């Protein structure tokens, strides 16, 4: 039967699964292991999504009154997400080791499962202080190739500089749920269609504007900032039509959400060091590195104020760093202020 003109011109649905397979075709020597790994990750994302959307309905909300290694209060949903991601990823044979925000040490693959050539670092539920208020939260992931040769993965496999990432991404649980990722060939966003349970390509080849109009920072901390940071934020608030100032302010307090808006609209998100957090607050390995990889893939930049985030050599799993991330021109201006050149 001939295809009608209307059918021929109908939009093509690209599921995340199909996109992952097509991405792998870029590597002629690919074994399919990477496809399997991302497939497991998308399943983990759906399992976490299912629980996040039920959060107000079941008795899963609320703190367990324990603290995680970074000192934040651990919520029950954080634990659920942590366990779910670990269990979705531990038996596929793709990973040799994992590390998560919720655990002090690396997470080993159980002895009875095969070990693979990849390493996964993740923040299972970012923005946990926003959970009880039904504000956007997310999960962040970062994938490396192992550097040890075989057997169990080690800390050395995890502590690689961000430019060695082979994939990074996040899942954002907002007014809709999205899976945003990059394998080093641009940044692509998929929106979950809950009626079919599939992530569908909705944002292909995301590009961040070269310069934005929004700054995002917790200004409640400004009394603890260095003068250079204060001067940069004051500069953004000054009126000057020629340079598009003043900027607007937006701050959600969930890195995934503030980053996602910055990626789409442009501007700058910052979490500078301050007197209380001399190394900054955000974690390099599973918060800043994956976002830095994505922003660079989208044409933006990420810096700690002095250095490109992706070039920082980490010395510990839960290392913190100051973060200035977003549109290229805005991050460049931040660096100039921080280096005392303006």
| Interacting residues toward ligand FDP by CB under 6 A | 72, 126-130, 218, 253-255, 258, 281-282, 287
Residue from 23, 40, 82, 126 carrying the catalytic annotation: 126
Residue from 23, 24, 40, 78 carrying the catalytic annotation: 78
Shortest reach from residue 212's CB to ligand FDP, in Å: 18
Residue from 23, 24, 102, 296 carrying the catalytic annotation: 102
**Cα–Cα distance between 72 and 151 in angstroms, integer?**
33
Residue from 125, 236, 284, 310 carrying the catalytic annotation: 125
Copy the structure tokens of residue 153: 């993965």
Residue from 17, 51, 72, 132 carrying the catalytic annotation: 72
Judged by CB, which is closer to ligand FDP: 2, or 220? 220
Judged by CB, which is closer to ligand FDP: 158, or 255? 255
Shortest reach from residue 176's CB to ligand FDP, in Å: 19
Look at residue 200 and give its three-state secondary structure. Answer: strand
Judged by CB, which is closer to ligand FDP: 202, or 277? 277
Strand runs labelled E in 137-282 = 137-145, 167-173, 177-182, 188-193, 198-203, 214-216, 248-249, 268-271
Strand order of the β-sheet with 323-326 is 248-249, 214-216, 268-271, 323-326, 301-303
Q: Is 226 a catalytic residue?
A: no
Shortest reach from residue 305's CB to ligand FDP, in Å: 17
Judged by CB, which is closer to ligand FDP: 44, or 81? 81
Cβ neighbours of residue 244 under 8 Å, at least 6 residues apart? Answer: 211, 213
Copy the structure tokens of residue 107: 């997470």
Q: Is 37 a catalytic residue?
A: no
Copy the structure tokens of residue 156: 């050395």
Judged by CB, which is closer to ligand FDP: 129, or 176? 129
Strands 214-216, 248-249: pairing is: parallel
Q: Is 126 a catalytic residue?
A: yes
Shortest reach from residue 209's CB to ligand FDP, in Å: 21
Among 140, 177, 136, 189, which residue's Cα sits nearest to residue 50? 177
Q: Is 101 a catalytic residue?
A: yes
Q: Is 125 a catalytic residue?
A: yes
Backbone angles phi, psi at 84, to 5 degrees: -65, -45
Copy the structure tokens of residue 198: 């599939």
Judged by CB, which is closer to ligand FDP: 97, or 255? 255
Burial 231-264 (b: 16+ CB within 10 A, else e): ebbebbeeeeeeeeeebeebbbebbbbbbbbbbb
CA-based diameter of the chain, in Å? 72
Q: Is 329 a catalytic residue?
A: no
Q: Is 330 a catalytic residue?
A: no
DSSP string for 235-263: HHHS-BGGGTBSPEE---S-HHHHHHHHH
Cα dihedral: 2, 6, 11, 13 (round 10): -40
Shortest reach from residue 99's CB to ligand FDP, in Å: 15
Q: Is 72 a catalytic residue?
A: yes
Residue from 23, 82, 101, 335 carrying the catalytic annotation: 101
Shortest reach from residue 124's CB to ligand FDP, in Å: 11
Which residue carries 């923040």 as its tokens?
Answer: 123
Catalytic (active-site) positions: 72, 78, 101-102, 123, 125-126, 287
């Amino acid at each position: 039967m001939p295809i009608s003109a209307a059918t021929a011109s109908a939009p093509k649905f690209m599921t995340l699964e199909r996109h992952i397979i097509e991405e792998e075709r870029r590597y002629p020597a690919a074994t399919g292991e990477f496809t399997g790994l991302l497939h497991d990750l998308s399943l983990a994302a759906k399992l976490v999504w299912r629980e996040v959307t039920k959060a107000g309905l079941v008795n899963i909300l609320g703190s367990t009154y324990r603290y995680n290694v970074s000192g934040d209060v651990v919520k029950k949903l954080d634990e659920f997400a942590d366990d779910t991601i670990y269990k979705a990823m531990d038996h596929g044979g793709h990973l040799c080791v994992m590390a998560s925000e919720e655990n002090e040490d690396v997470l080993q693959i159980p002895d009875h499962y095969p070990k693979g050539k990849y390493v996964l670092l993740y923040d299972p539920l970012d923005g946990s202080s926003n959970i009880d208020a039904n504000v956007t939260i997310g999960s962040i992931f970062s994938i490396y190739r192992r550097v040890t040769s075989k057997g169990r993965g080690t800390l050395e496999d995890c502590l690689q500089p961000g430019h060695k990432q082979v994939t990074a991404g996040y899942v954002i649980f907002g007014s809709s749920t999205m899976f945003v990722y990059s394998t080093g060939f641009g940044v692509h966003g998929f929106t979950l269609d809950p009626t079919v349970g599939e992530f569908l390509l909705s944002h292909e080849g995301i590009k961040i504007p070269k310069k934005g109009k929004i700054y995002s920072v917790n200004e409640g901390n400004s009394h603890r900032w260095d003068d250079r940071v204060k001067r940069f934020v004051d500069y953004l608030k000054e009126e000057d039509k020629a340079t598009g100032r003043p900027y607007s302010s937006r701050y959600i307090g969930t890195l995934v959400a503030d980053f996602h808006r910055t990626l789409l609209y442009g501007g700058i998100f910052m979490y500078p060091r301050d007197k209380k957090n001399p190394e900054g607050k955000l974690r390099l390995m599973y918060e800043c590195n994956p976002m830095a990889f994505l922003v660079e893939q989208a044409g933006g930049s990420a810096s700690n104020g002095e250095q490109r985030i992706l070039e920082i050599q980490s010395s510990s799993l839960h290392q913190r760093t100051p973060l200035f991330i977003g549109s290229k021109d805005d991050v460049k201006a931040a660096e100039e202020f921080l280096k005392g050149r303006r």
